[in-house]
Copies of this chain bind each other. A is one copy, B any other.
Amino acid sequence: MAPKSLRNLIFSGESAYLSSLSIDCVIFGFHDNQLKVLLLKVKNAKEWSLPGGFILPDEDVDEAAKRVLSERTGLSKIFLQQFRVFGRPDRTDPGFHRQFLKKEGLILKDDHWLLKRFVTIGYYALVEYSFVNPAPDSFSEWCGWKDVNNIPDLMMDHREILESALHTLQLHLNYHPIGYNLLPEKFTMPQLQKLYETILSKKLDRRNFQRKIISYKILKRLKEVKTGGAHKAPYLYRFDLKNYRKALKNGLHGGW
């Protein structure tokens, strides 16, 4: 028997939400020097999915995305960026949902709202990995991080959405506080470099990277040092938010 929350959504969602519109979020985190994405394991299927949801009749679309985000991560302050609408009529697969819900004991009529065509608004979010408490939604049996270089099969066009988000991340690197939102408050230069390398999927020269980042004057070097590593202890930095914001306005003229 399907849980009540799922039945509720299925049978009263039509009036509760704007029809034909959904939201999908690509939530990025950074951990172990790797870029991670928060994914959900769909119940009764081998596919995974992006965190998503619907929009309340009087809800700001950005607000709806925030709601989805906070339901999956437990976080309230989240860097969120709309990046593209996916509107092909065949992007939704009625068979998929019908199959999945049948196994939950829920039979949908042909004209059920969930089986209709959905236009989805893609958001990407940047969160600090260690603050996140992943929580599955009622379609899913599990929620957690996956390495961006090791993504399982995703349902529908979620793979395309993810790729598109990654591409957007590259373009936004010089214009949005991406480092700030993905890294912990204090971090080392090699960490920041690794983040840039991962997003750009490109090796960067250690020394030139450092010099360039420093030249932007968006970092404050702390007295402290990262201990515990097996080698020379790197300095810790934190973002100088005031300068960072100012610099991002015109873009960090970076040919990376």
User: Which residues of A are at the interface with B, using a C-beta cutoff of 8 A?
Assistant: 18-21, 55, 57-62, 64, 82, 84-85, 87-89, 117, 119, 121, 171, 175, 253, 255
Which of B57, B61, B175 is A85 in contact with, Cβ under 8 Å? B61
Contact call B61/A87, Cβ cutoff below 8 A: yes
Chain B positions within 8 Å of A18 at CB level: 19-20, 117, 119
A63 to B18, CA, bound (A): 22
A204 to chain B, nearest CB (A): 16
Q: What are the residues of chain B within 8 A of A58 when measuring CB–CB?
A: 89, 117
- Identify the closest chain B residue to A172 (Cβ): B171
Checking B57, B84, B89, B171 against A59 with a beta-carbon cut-off of 8 angstroms, the contacting residue is: B89
Partner pick for A82 among B20, B85, B117, B171, CB 8 A cutoff: B85
Q: Could you give 24 example pairs across A and B, Cβ below 8 Å?
A: A18-B19, A18-B117, A18-B119, A19-B19, A19-B20, A20-B20, A21-B119, A55-B87, A55-B119, A57-B89, A57-B117, A58-B117, A59-B89, A60-B87, A60-B88, A61-B85, A61-B88, A61-B119, A82-B84, A85-B85, A85-B121, A87-B121, A171-B175, A253-B255
Chain B residue, CB-CB nearest to A89: B58
Which residues on B sit within 8 Å (CB–CB) of A84? 82
The secondary structure that dominates the A interface is loop
Residue of B nearest to A20 (CB): B18
- A60 CB contacts on chain B under 8 angstroms: 87-89
Residues in B with CB closer than 8 Å to A20 are 18-21
The residues of B that contact A21 with a CB separation of less than 8 Å are 20-21, 119
Q: What's the minimum C-beta distance from A172 to chain B, rounded to whole angstroms?
A: 10
Q: How far is the CB of A54 from chain B (nearest CB, A)?
A: 11
Instruction: Specify which chain B residues have a CB less than 8 angstroms from the CB of A119 in the assembled complex.
Output: 18, 21, 55, 61
User: Please, how many angstroms separate the alpha-carbon atoms of A20 and B19 in the complex?
Assistant: 8
Chain B residue at smallest Cβ distance from A121: B85
Knowing that A60-B89, A82-B84, A171-B175 touch, tell me 7 more A-B residue pairs with CB under 8 angstroms. Answer: A18-B19, A19-B20, A20-B21, A55-B87, A57-B89, A58-B117, A61-B88
**In the assembly, what is the distance between CA of A22 and CA of B22, in Å?**
14
A62 to B86, CA, bound (A): 9
